[in-house]
Chains A and B, each alone.
Chain A
Amino acid sequence: MRRFVIGQAKNLIDQTRRPRPHHNNIRLLSPLASDPIPVSSSRFFSDMTGSDSSSSLPVTIDSINPNVLKCEYAVRGEIVNIAQKLQDDLKINKDAYPFDEIIYCNIGNPQSLSQQPITFFREVLALCSHTALLDRDETHALFSADSIARAWKILDQIPGKATGAYSHSQGIKGLRDAIAAGIEARDGFPADPNDIFMTDGASPGVHMMMQLLISSEKDGILCPIPQYPLYSASIALHGGSLVPYYLDEASGWGLEISELKKQLEDAKSKGITVRALAVINPGNPTGQVLSEENQRDIVDFCKKEGLVLLADEVYQENVYVPDKKFHSFKKVARSMGYGEKDISLVSFQSISKGYYGECGKRGGYMEVTGFTSDVREQIYKVASVNLCSNISGQILASLVMSPPKPGDESYESYIAEKEGILSSMARRAKTLEEALNKLEGITCNRAEGAMYLFPCINLPQKAIAAAEAAKTAPDTFYCKRLLNATGIVLVPGSGFRQVPGTWHFRCTILPQEDKIPAIVNRLTEFHKSFMDEFRD
């Protein structure tokens, strides 16, 4: 037995010296594990492999789901990790840095940069959080009358007024009714509350659809490039294939049907079945707002090719230019005369963006239309495994889709807050766009909507060479240098993908207005010195 054991150990050592896929490792170990070898001997094997001692553990970097290893999410990736370390160090080593604070321009998180929540919404939420308030006289002095009325209305729609209970897996019916009414008021076409699935933010809804649509890497999802990396990450996690379609920077990030067709054919020739088309409108990171004509072409394309249209419309309230307007894909499809039987459409909305910016509450929904009932049952089933989304987020989603109306007590202050935030965003978008366009080698399309600027940076060869030497993507190299010099956190364009050979970065428009001049100055100064260093 002893010679057998040593022989096996020798095999293992030889095996570990050659690179091999991990599953061989498992197959090799399993028969040994079930052999009647005393525990101490199996420990002996793992020690003998000479590799990382944790390789005897069941869960190591080599044995986890490869899809997890594959997926990336740059919005909270490498640069942000560095920034966090800098921020911690800044507390104790103030003088070591040429800046005194880190400014996070990497993520659409308005309230972390001092944007205030909408008062009416939070009044309603507070009352629903602690319903005993509604029984007290003092409450009338502290809360607006219409927020009290709305809280009562919402509580009456919740069985037992129990905001701490799991709700229906699609979300509380009364709230879905309000959302459906809001969709109808927005579009002029009816919406069915049974088509609404409320989720903890829009992101889980996207994951659900990817799970449904993707069975293997042979299933492809058409995604815009550049794209918000939730899509690439979700596709990777679910083991599917991302089929890119390039937005045209020269024409304001326009979407060409010819490009969609080309990519679809290309995918087909590679044996990929394209199942859906994801469109982000207004775009992220690109900010473009699609024209209605463009949208009609997209709807027709999906209908013709039998694709599910995944319409990410979370920035529907963020439009900053007078010549563009948001139109939901649902409205466009219905106004083309297309109904339930003509087009499969999933529309995503969130409470995280717009003028409400309630990221931390995690609220959103998807409106699912044009699916047969057996498919809808499956969507319901997947939703039910998680029981329901958080109630507070559900309440907010209903408020966002049915806010105060003219005549309501809170209407004036609500409108003032809303317009204040949106007009400020429009100003900041313009200011930053203009500042970026002044920088050498940088061109920046205007942000028609959403919350970001995505300038193109023409990096000199010297910089690209330096990046290569540092084993970093050139735009990441630029962003790291920028972070270290200014404390400003951006996301390199590689995180969103871009036309190969082009470089970008994404910057949010969210820092408060009074900080914008300082940000512009620091960016300008840094860029000048960067170009001085690397100019060809």
Chain B
Amino acid sequence: MALEYDLLNENVKKCQYAVRGELYLRASELQKEGKKIIFTNVGNPHALGQKPLTFPRQVVALCQAPFLLDDPNVGMIFPADAIARAKHYLSLTSGGLGAYSDSRGLPGVRKEVAEFIQRRDGYPSDPELIFLTDGASKGVMQILNCVIRGEGDGILVPVPQYPLYSATISLLGGSLVPYYLDESENWGLDVNNLRQSVAQARSQGISVRAMVIINPGNPTGQCLSEANLKEILRFCYNEKLVLLGDEVYQQNIYQDERPFISSKKVLMDMGSPFSKEVQLVSFHTVSKGYWGECGQRGGYFEMTNIPPRVVEEIYKVASIALSPNVSAQIFMGLMVSPPKPGDISYDQFARESKGILESLRRRAKIMTDGFNSCKNVVCNFTEGAMYSFPQIRLPPGALQAAKQAGKVPDVFYCLKLLEATGISTVPGSGFGQKEGVFHLRTTILPAEEEMPEIMDSFKKFNDEFMTQYDNGFGYSRM
């Protein structure tokens, strides 16, 4: 055998991505055996019944089959503004959806993204510094690939974090420098924790190069305050770190005290020298928000204060992959310049969007409250994003049983939960957590009508689990 396990790149073996790891694989197995599974392991809204927005699908369908635009009856099944928009996007391409675009993405779409950023933040944005990517994840990988030279390079990553970061840092052979979010402060970020983490890393000879923030957070959902963002930017300025701002959930805000404010806006507000010197890369996607178009694989990153020669190198690497997929670029264009009041499709679009966001807000509360009503479960409110990340206080009997079964305790709990209820979650260990503290991540995406039943099902399981292992009767049946 030419390729044996032992000969594989160690970085590949080391990397982990729990979102589609053990629990998911077990859930898939059970599904094949006929069990009803509720997949709450990944932020995948359409898979749980959220309908796509009508307008973008109309536009993209027309772009897929431009011959429709030549048909005299097209106006009977497509609204005029969708037809106009399809023509507009096709004119931005150099041959329709089937031609490679500019490796950075269609210039016309990047211009629309820049205009969106400008409207959102009140500061100009340069389309030349915006690269469209096949999903935000690819963009993150490209930037980290640029920054990480070897294991001597450290990247500050929040704990808990979305494991794209840990997996990518592993694959690239870098070092993950964790900074802990404070669960007792609603997953707040304390700059002192940052300082400690950096000092510790440096004392180990690691050169800390970048800092990742996920805002709103994943899995934790917290929305950073403006003051917090200022502190972080100041910290990056002082410590000479490039800030990677993962802002893919910027449309998913479920409280009013801390609306979304972009890292770029705060940076620009701070003025010189910060606004001219702090390096920032901001990421966004069509997969989340109220669009939920995960399967399109559409995203972008915007670079601030990155030297031109570095931008060229990033462009060079992007060109090896030729171009991001063009359909998703059109979705991105539509997302940043959606129907406006007065447009034919506006009312339907606004209704659909509002419906989704308001429902998400309600579900965030239902879940948080539901978890908090369970024995030994404490759950911070989901301020934003798409997840609930309850802490499960596992009794000693459970810890023992897990050990006997050869499983990490939260994996043990989640597997039991899966087998009893069909609810497929991701154990907190997949995201990182404080030693001895256990969580699970679930999404708030199951349909609103199904929520009460799901929460009841969970509560019943949890009660039984706690009873079983609290009394020390528990033994592993793994």
**Chain B 249-288 residues near chain A, CB threshold 8 A:** 277, 279, 287
**Chain B 5-42 residues near chain A, CB threshold 8 A:** 5, 7-13, 15-17, 19-21, 42
For B292, give the chain A residue with the smallest CB separation.
A164
* CB–CB A390/B95 < 8 A: no
Q: How far is the CA of A520 from the CA of B241 in the complex (A)?
A: 54
Q: Is A360 an interface position by the 8 A CB rule?
A: yes
For A104, give the chain B residue with the smallest CB separation.
B94
Partner among A27, A117, A132, A358 whose Cβ is within 8 Å of the Cβ of B54: A132
For B49, give the chain A residue with the smallest CB separation.
A160
Q: Is A92 an interface position by the 8 A CB rule?
A: no
Q: Is B326 an interface position by the 8 A CB rule?
A: yes
For B326, give the chain A residue with the smallest CB separation.
A360
* CB–CB A126/B9 < 8 A: no
**Chain A 444-497 residues near chain B, CB threshold 8 A:** none
* CB–CB B100/A360 < 8 A: yes
Partner among B57, B146, B164, B324 whose Cβ is within 8 Å of the Cβ of A130: B57
**Min C-beta distance of B67 to chain A, whole Å:** 7
Q: Is B192 an interface position by the 8 A CB rule?
A: no
Q: How far is the CA of A307 from the CA of B203 in the complex (A)?
A: 43
The stretch from A55-63, A263-271, A315-323, A324-332 touching chain B is A55-63
Q: How far is the CA of A132 from the CA of B56 in the complex (A)?
A: 12
Q: Is A361 an interface position by the 8 A CB rule?
A: yes
Chain B residues, Cβ within 8 Å of A110: 98-99
Chain A residues, Cβ within 8 Å of B57: 129-132
Chain B residues, Cβ within 8 Å of A56: 240, 277
Partner among B1, B45, B60, B305 whose Cβ is within 8 Å of the Cβ of A344: B1
* CB–CB A201/B9 < 8 A: no
Instruction: Give a binary string over A354-396; 1 marks a CB under 8 Å from any B CB, 0 the rest.
Output: 0001111110000000111011001001101111111111000
Q: How far is the CA of A42 from the CA of B199 in the complex (A)?
A: 17
Q: Is A279 an interface position by the 8 A CB rule?
A: no
Q: Is A262 an interface position by the 8 A CB rule?
A: no
Instruction: Give a binary string over A59-70; 1 marks a CB under 8 Å from any B CB, 0 the rest.
Output: 111011110110
Q: Of residues B52, B103, B138, B152, which shows the largest number of chain A Cβ atoms within 10 Å of its Cβ?
A: B52
Q: Is B309 an interface position by the 8 A CB rule?
A: yes
Q: Is B418 an interface position by the 8 A CB rule?
A: no
Q: A125-B64, A361-B326 are contacts. A372–B307 as well, Cβ < 8 Å?
A: no
* CB–CB B12/A362 < 8 A: no
Instruction: Give a binary string over B59-90; 1 marks a CB under 8 Å from any A CB, 0 the rest.
Output: 01110111110010110110000000000000
Q: Is A167 an interface position by the 8 A CB rule?
A: yes
Partner among B44, B103, B134, B306 whose Cβ is within 8 Å of the Cβ of A362: B134
* CB–CB B7/A359 < 8 A: no
Q: How far is the CA of A136 from the CA of B377 in the complex (A)?
A: 49
* CB–CB B47/A165 < 8 A: yes
Instruction: Give a binary string over B116-141; 1 marks a CB under 8 Å from any A CB, 0 the rest.
Output: 00000000000000000011011001
Q: A59-B306, A385-B15 are contacts. A166–B47 as well, Cβ < 8 Å?
A: yes
Q: Of residues B137, B202, B209, B327, which shows the largest number of chain A Cβ atoms within 10 Å of its Cβ?
A: B327
Partner among A66, A111, A371 whose Cβ is within 8 Å of the Cβ of B3: A371
Chain A residues, Cβ within 8 Å of B148: 65
Q: A68-B313, A215-B9 are contacts. A381–B145 as well, Cβ < 8 Å?
A: no
Q: How far is the CA of A237 from the CA of B1 in the complex (A)?
A: 26
**Min C-beta distance of A440 to chain B, whole Å:** 34
Q: Is B375 an interface position by the 8 A CB rule?
A: no
Q: A166-B42, A385-B167, A390-B328 are contacts. A59–B147 as well, Cβ < 8 Å?
A: yes
Q: Of residues B148, B210, B295, which shows the largest number of chain A Cβ atoms within 10 Å of its Cβ?
A: B295
Q: A71-B317, A393-B325 are contacts. A375–B138 as well, Cβ < 8 Å?
A: no
**Min C-beta distance of A39 to chain B, whole Å:** 6
Q: How far is the CA of A360 from the CA of B47 in the complex (A)?
A: 25
Q: Is A217 an interface position by the 8 A CB rule?
A: no
Q: How far is the CA of A27 from the CA of B152 in the complex (A)?
A: 10
Chain B residues, Cβ within 8 Å of A306: 1-2
* CB–CB B15/A382 < 8 A: yes
* CB–CB A211/B95 < 8 A: no
**Min C-beta distance of B184 to chain A, whole Å:** 29
Q: Is A341 an interface position by the 8 A CB rule?
A: yes
For B146, give the chain A residue with the smallest CB separation.
A64
Q: How far is the CA of A393 from the CA of B98 in the complex (A)?
A: 10
For B65, give the chain A residue with the smallest CB separation.
A126
For B94, give the chain A residue with the smallest CB separation.
A112
The stretch from A137-145, A284-292, A521-529 touching chain B is A137-145
* CB–CB A169/B20 < 8 A: yes
* CB–CB A164/B294 < 8 A: yes
Q: Is B316 an interface position by the 8 A CB rule?
A: yes
Chain B residues, Cβ within 8 Å of A393: 325
* CB–CB A65/B145 < 8 A: yes
Chain B residues, Cβ within 8 Å of A111: 95-96, 98-99
Instruction: Give a binary string over B185-204; 1 marks a CB under 8 Å from any A CB, 0 the rest.
Output: 00000000000000100110
Q: A56-B240, A307-B2 are contacts. A71–B44 as well, Cβ < 8 Å?
A: no
Q: Is A443 an interface position by the 8 A CB rule?
A: no
Q: Is B239 an interface position by the 8 A CB rule?
A: yes
Q: How far is the CA of A165 from the CA of B443 in the complex (A)?
A: 14
* CB–CB B279/A388 < 8 A: no
Q: How far is the CA of A348 from the CA of B67 in the complex (A)?
A: 31
**Min C-beta distance of A383 to chain B, whole Å:** 9
Q: How far is the CA of A497 from the CA of B313 in the complex (A)?
A: 21
Q: Is B320 an interface position by the 8 A CB rule?
A: yes
Q: How far is the CA of A435 from the CA of B134 in the complex (A)?
A: 40
Chain A residues, Cβ within 8 Å of B240: 33, 56-58
Q: Of residues A130, A344, A384, which shows the largest number of chain B Cβ atoms within 10 Å of its Cβ?
A: A130
Q: Is A308 an interface position by the 8 A CB rule?
A: yes
* CB–CB A162/B325 < 8 A: no
Partner among B210, B313, B328 whose Cβ is within 8 Å of the Cβ of A61: B313
* CB–CB A61/B100 < 8 A: no
Q: How far is the CA of A111 from the CA of B66 in the complex (A)?
A: 13
* CB–CB B149/A112 < 8 A: no
Partner among A34, A68, A276, A308 whose Cβ is within 8 Å of the Cβ of B202: A34
* CB–CB B202/A59 < 8 A: no
Q: Is A159 an interface position by the 8 A CB rule?
A: yes
* CB–CB A391/B296 < 8 A: yes
* CB–CB A133/B47 < 8 A: no
Q: A160-B47, A237-B145, A386-B135 are contacts. A359–B305 as well, Cβ < 8 Å?
A: no
Q: A39-B238, A160-B46, A381-B15 are contacts. A58–B210 as well, Cβ < 8 Å?
A: yes
Partner among A142, A211, A233, A386 whose Cβ is within 8 Å of the Cβ of B73: A142
* CB–CB B58/A130 < 8 A: yes
For A215, give the chain B residue with the smallest CB separation.
B9
* CB–CB B100/A107 < 8 A: yes
Q: How far is the CA of A9 from the CA of B7 in the complex (A)?
A: 47
**Min C-beta distance of A300 to chain B, whole Å:** 13
Q: Which 8 A-B pairs have the closest CB atoms?
A: A130-B61, A126-B65, A360-B326, A165-B47, A112-B99, A391-B295, A384-B20, A111-B98
7 contacts between A and B (CB under 8 A): A69-B313, A166-B287, A169-B20, A215-B10, A230-B320, A362-B325, A387-B137
Contacts A117-B98, A125-B64, A360-B96 known; list 16 others, CB within 8 Å: A33-B240, A59-B306, A160-B46, A163-B295, A164-B294, A165-B45, A166-B42, A169-B20, A214-B9, A215-B8, A306-B2, A359-B98, A375-B5, A378-B12, A385-B15, A390-B134
By a beta-carbon cutoff of 8 Å, the part of chain A in contact with chain B is 23, 26-27, 30, 33-34, 39, 54, 56-61, 63-66, 68-69, 71-73, 75-77, 107, 109-115, 117, 119, 122-123, 125-127, 129-133, 136, 138-139, 141-142, 159-160, 162-167, 169, 200-201, 203-204, 211-215, 229-230, 233-234, 237, 275-276, 302, 306-308, 341, 343-344, 352, 357-362, 370-372, 374-375, 378, 381-382, 384-393
By a beta-carbon cutoff of 8 Å, the part of chain B in contact with chain A is 1-5, 7-13, 15-17, 19-21, 42, 44-47, 49, 52, 54, 57-58, 60-62, 64-68, 71, 73-74, 76-77, 93-101, 103, 134-135, 137-138, 141, 145-149, 152, 164, 167-168, 171, 199, 202-203, 207, 209-210, 238-242, 277, 279, 287, 292-297, 305-307, 309-310, 313-314, 316-317, 319-328
